[in-house]
Structure 1
Amino acid sequence: MSTFRARYGAGPMHLAVTAFCLALSGAVVLTIGFPALWNTDAWWQSIGLWFVGAAVVHDAILFPLYAVLDRTLVARLGRFVNAVRIPALGAGLSLLLFAPGIFAHGSETYEAATGQTQEPYAMRWLLLVAGMFAASAAFYGGREILRTLRTRPVVDNPKRQHAPN
């Protein structure tokens, strides 16, 4: 077992799960067929393009970029880094979640279905992000205040009478 782990870099369960996922992905592609993965009317909406693009762009470009950015933030900000990292992650994930509304993608369909416009989405997202950063700053400030109160040395009052031993 240790020889396998030393050569492969992980346990046999990792290899089995990875092989299963690849086989399942291959079965899905073969079942739905390659034409279902490519939209000839709007090439940028193709599942295949987004899948390959996400793998290449994320793994080759974005991940190294934000790994270097994170290392730089840790080196410069120290303990304060999590007060920036967590709301920034929340901002990015909420942007991904609400991107169609924020960028008014499908605004005609949305307005026809609901009778409302998508105008408030961008401002609401910005308020959500501002709230996340404000809450993070408040928690960080509160934590720093508690930390300084706990580490403050106790000063002996010279006017106080000490009981004899």
Structure 2
Amino acid sequence: MRIFRVLYGEPWWHLAALLASFALCGYAAVRLLAGDWWGVVQWTVGAAVVHDLVAVPLYGGADWLLHRAVRAGRPNSPRRVAVVNHIRVPAFVSLMLLLVYWPLISTDSGAHYRAVTLLDPGVFRSRWLAVTAGLFGLSALHLAVRLWRDRRDRGDRRRPARRPDPPADATDA
């Protein structure tokens, strides 16, 4: 086992889990491609092309604009990076929710959704907006607490350390 660990770099169960996941993915691929393999290939290639040619420039440009908007005189201050990340994370989660639930948020599939589930599809847009507002609110609160702690800690470091009083024995000598 020691030789295996030295050669592989991880414990044996890591390799076993990796091989099991490859087997599961292979099984899923065989089942998926058994029906309409050409449609799966088209969707996969189309998603990759749309992602690379449309999505990457869009969110790369949005990130660049966010960095430019947050720039506060100092090019790479830790505070600027913190602000950018506290905007970036809730925006990512919100956009992923929008992507997954787009048909229900846009109410394009409202009649079909109501027929299948007997539930009202009109609540998804307001719920997505509420979740988005909650994500940004929690992120802003977390950022405020973080900046307050940083400012408090910096203030403690700026105060000069108080010299301890000399021991009573030293004055007698």
Common topology (TM > 0.5): yes
Instruction: Classify the secondary structure of the residue corresponding to 1:119.
Output: helix
Aligned to 1:5: none
Structure 1 range deviating more: 134-143 or 26-35: 26-35
Q: 1:163 to 1:135 in 2, by over 3 A?
A: closer
1:14-163 pair list within 5 angstroms? 31-33=34-36, 37=39, 50-77=43-70, 78-79=80-81, 80-152=83-155, 153-154=158-159
Aligned to 1:6: none
Q: 1:49 to 1:122 in 2, by over 3 A?
A: farther
1:7-18 pair list within 5 angstroms? none
CA–CA distance in 2 between the matches of 1:125 and 1:58?
A: 23
CA–CA distance in 2 between the matches of 1:82 and 1:125?
A: 21
Note the residue ranges of structure 2 that are not aligned, 5 or more in a row: 1-21, 71-79, 167-173
Aligned residue pairs total 129
What are the Cα deviations for residues 67-120 of structure 1, in whole angstroms up to 9, with x where unaligned? 233234235422210011000001111111221211223322321233322111
Note the residue ranges of structure 1 that are not aligned, 5 or more in a row: 1-19, 38-46
Cα deviation, residue 138, structure 1: 0.2
Aligned to 1:4: none
